[in-house]
Structure 1
Amino acid sequence: MSYQTADLLDAHEARLADGSLRVATPLLQRFGGRESFAGRISTLRSFEDNSKVREALAEPGTGRVLVVDGAASLRCALLGDQLAELAQRNGWEGIVINGCIRDSAVIATIDIGVRALATHPLKSVKRGLGEREVPLAFAGIAFLPGEWLCADADGIIVCRDALA
């Protein structure tokens, strides 16, 4: 399905004033094979450890977007091609990472939305650390579990509920 953030913002502009609709600062680059995606937010906070990313993406993800706050680390990748393929197989709509990915050429061929700061060839450590379903804040906005995220070529928006 295709989403146009600009059209959604035009139609719901009044919601910007009360904070129920938020626009992310354009810091994240597109890497996945799906240009636009949307779904309920599932959150994860993890610094340079992708163990919990794998756990989350192993779950059924239908209708959800995993938002990962990696504290903007540029020292290793939190997502690679194997995890992107796992996410696609399990029905995740997309993955948004405040950090890096690797295997970007392969991820570009996988039918999943992926946004991240950059690429880095080094994989992360695996210590099983991270927090699930907690409020996150990066790119100038809050990402709250259960809220709605929509991303396309123009950017990322977050809203308390799905926008028609």
Structure 2
Amino acid sequence: MKSTCDISDQLHPHVQYLDPIFKSYGGKTAFSGRIVTIKCFEDNSLVEEALKMNGKGCVLVVDAGESLRCAMLGDKRASDAIKNEWEGIVVNGSIRDSVMINSMAIGIRALGVCPRKSIKKGNGKRNLTVDFSNVKFIPNHYLYADEDGVIVIENKVNS
């Protein structure tokens, strides 16, 4: 995988940069793939559904409305992601079980941690454009994450 710095240098006018407020979790510090989106607030039902599906070549982007009051995923969902070959996860909110997740072969970016689990009422939407942290996440565009940051580029620029 090319570094985010190299991609930025090569494609600068077409690159969006996630604000550097997201913390890195999991044993993988670098990941990339096609974007799959979920928009939900304090309900991780759709996150669970998505991570139980094949995610090969994809990164799940969860817009949880910046909520720090409960976690959108923990070690069980991270295990699902690994089992189903997701490349990584970006959460505009919290995760939990961070010590366990940090020993797992998955890359996750999130705003922080919270021990409280979310509700499960099936609320939320999937595969729509979500916008947070100065980035517009469009399904099937590409996300790259490494130690230097998280960037998004358009699908047509990547091909």
The Cα shift of 1:163 comes to 4.3
Q: Which amino acid aligns with 1:30?
A: S
Alignment of 1:1-164 (within 5 A): 2-13=1-12, 16=13, 20-161=14-155, 163=158
Under a length normalisation based on structure 1, what TM-score does the superposition of the two structures give?
0.93
* Alpha-carbon shift at residue 68 of structure 1 (Å): 0.2
- Aligned partners of 1:32 and 1:137: how far apart in 2? 24
Identical residues among aligned pairs (%): 46
CA contact (8 A) 1:8 1:163 kept: no
1:57-90 C-alpha deviation (Å, 9 max, x unpaired) = 0110000000000000010000100000100000
* CA shift for structure 1 position 4: 1.2
Task: Give the Å deviation of 1:3.
Answer: 3.9
The Cα shift of 1:28 comes to 0.7
User: Which secondary structure does the structure 1 equivalent of 2:72 belong to?
Assistant: strand
Per-residue CA distance 1:133-156 (angstroms, 9 max, x = gap): 010011111000010000001111
**What SS class does the counterpart of residue 37 from structure 2 fall into?**
strand
- Structure 1 distance, partners of 2:102, 2:52, is 20
Q: How far, CA to CA, are the matches of 1:129 and 1:163 in structure 2?
A: 33
**Are the aligned partners of 1:3 and 1:151 in contact in 2 as well (CA < 8 Å)?**
no
Structure 2 residue matching 1:41: 3-state secondary structure: strand
Q: How far does the alpha carbon of each residue in 1:105-127 deviate from its partner, in whole angstroms, 9 at most, with x for none?
A: 01011111100000000000010
SS of 2:8 mapped into structure 1: helix
Contact 1:3 1:38 survives alignment (8 Å): no
Q: How many residues align?
A: 158
Distance 1:12 1:21 in 2: 6
Can you give the 5+ residue segments of structure 2 that lack an aligned partner in the other structure?
none
Conserved 8 A contact 1:51-1:126: yes
Instruction: Answer with 2-11 or 128-137: which moved more.
Output: 2-11
Q: Compare 96-105 and 153-162 and name the one that shifted more.
A: 153-162
| Per-residue deviation, 1:11 | 1.7
Counterpart amino acid of 1:159?
I
